[in-house]
Amino acid sequence: MAASTRLEEYRTTVRQQVLPAYDRLGSLTLVYLLGSLVAGYADDADLDMMLVWDDPDVPTAAHRELLIAHFDERERGQPFVLDYHDIDLERFVIADLEYNLAHLPLAVWQAMIQAILDGQRAGSERVLDPLVATAGFYYGELVLDRQGVGQQCKTRLATFPAAVKQECRRAVLARRQAYLTDLQTLAAREDWFKFHCILVEAVRLTVRALFSLHEVYYPGDKWLRQAIIRFGLETEVLAPFDRLWTAGGNVAENAVEQIAALSGLMDQVEEYEPG
């Protein structure tokens, strides 16, 4: 997909205004762009950025609020800053372009990347999904890499970790029968809300595994169909994936079709022969 002219406007503002201002808040060592605009899924979208700090903690919300109050062109009483568990982020608008910035300390960021390289499962206490966050980094665009850490990690991630394939496949095989049984039971009860909750959970786990088995870091739920096409999974994955959401007929008939489509995707995971 063609690079967005809007993205070039963002790049210029980031280099000329955003980074010099944030640089004064601490030891900024790594910055990269990610999200739908960078991936080419949309030409008119906000810009997502990750800022990594070579400090024990990211800059405080109070310091970031002062910066945003200076930047943000929107009229609002309080700058948008959110610090929640392992999520530290803010939003602001410059020249009608919206920026979404997230922050991590370098040690935490490196541990996250290392966990993926080692195929470790994420702890339940984390809000940020390490596999999705790793995809954001690996397929994103470096704009600052003072210590060369970003390029080093990209080089290491270029060889897809076999442990991630094994763990994602194991998770699907371990839960396959339970998911299909639950879906059939819920369909028989006509409990459609719970049916679709379980369906989405099962599809996410299965598609996550299929991306990994194709040596692609799972990019997250947003723009998922476009990601299937972008990363070359459409031949095997796209048709059954579409069947999940475009089934015709009444809700009970749709449920039968959806369970069959999910089962077909799970078959692909089960039939995969580890190299």
Q: pLDDT tens digits for 147-180? A: 999 999 999 999 999 999 999 999 999 999 999 9
Q: What φ, ψ does residue 26 adopt, rounded to 5°?
A: 165, -160
Domain-terminating residue out of 138, 157, 176: 157
Same domain, 9 and 125: yes
**Across 11-20, 82-91, 147-156, which has the greatest mean pLDDT?**
147-156
Q: What percent of the chain has pLDDT over 70?
A: 94
Q: What is the tens place of the pLDDT at every residue in 179-225?
A: 999 999 999 999 999 999 999 999 999 999 999 999 999 999 999 99
Q: Spell out a b/e string for 60-94, using b for 16 or more CB atoms within 10 Å of the CB, else e.
A: eeeebbebbeebbeeeeeebebeeeeeebbbbbeb
pTM for the whole structure: 0.91
Same domain, 125 and 142: yes
| Span 227-244, average pLDDT | 94
Same domain, 100 and 217: no
Same domain, 46 and 79: yes
Same domain, 11 and 134: yes
Q: What's the confidence (pLDDT) of residue 100?
A: 94
* Strand 47-53 with 97-105, pairing: parallel
Domain-terminating residue out of 157, 183, 208: 157
Count of CA atoms in the C-beta half-sphere (13 A) of 241: 23
Same domain, 131 and 193: no
Query: What CATH number did the domain enclosing 216 receive?
Result: 1.20.120
Domain that holds residue 183: 162-271
- Asked whether residue 125 carries a pLDDT value surpassing 80, the answer given is no
Sheet holding 97-105, edge to edge: 80-84, 87-94, 97-105, 47-53, 28-34, 141-145
Strand partners, 49: 33, 101
Q: What percent of the chain has pLDDT over 90?
A: 72
Same domain, 40 and 125: yes
Q: What's the confidence (pLDDT) of residue 248?
A: 73
Distance CA 37, CA 47 (A): 7
Strand partners, 33: 49, 141
Number of domains in the chain: 2
Q: pLDDT grade, residue 76 (50/70/90)?
A: low
Same domain, 23 and 105: yes
Assign 75 to helix, strand or coil: coil
- What 3 state SS string does 162-185 have? HHHHHHHHHHHHHHHHHHHHHHHH
Q: What is the tens place of the pLDDT at every residue in 20-73?
A: 999 999 999 999 999 998 998 888 788 999 999 999 999 999 999 988 888 888
Q: Does the CA dihedral 266-224-254-234 come out positive or negative?
A: negative
Listing DSSP states for 202-213 in one string gives HHHHHHHHHHHH
- Asked whether residue 2 carries a pLDDT value surpassing 50, the answer given is no
Q: pLDDT grade, residue 74 (50/70/90)?
A: confident
- Asked whether residue 108 carries a pLDDT value surpassing 90, the answer given is yes
Same domain, 43 and 170: no
**Across 91-95, 118-122, 163-167, 248-252, which has the greatest mean pLDDT?**
163-167
Q: Which two tokens stand for residue 271?
A: 């039939």
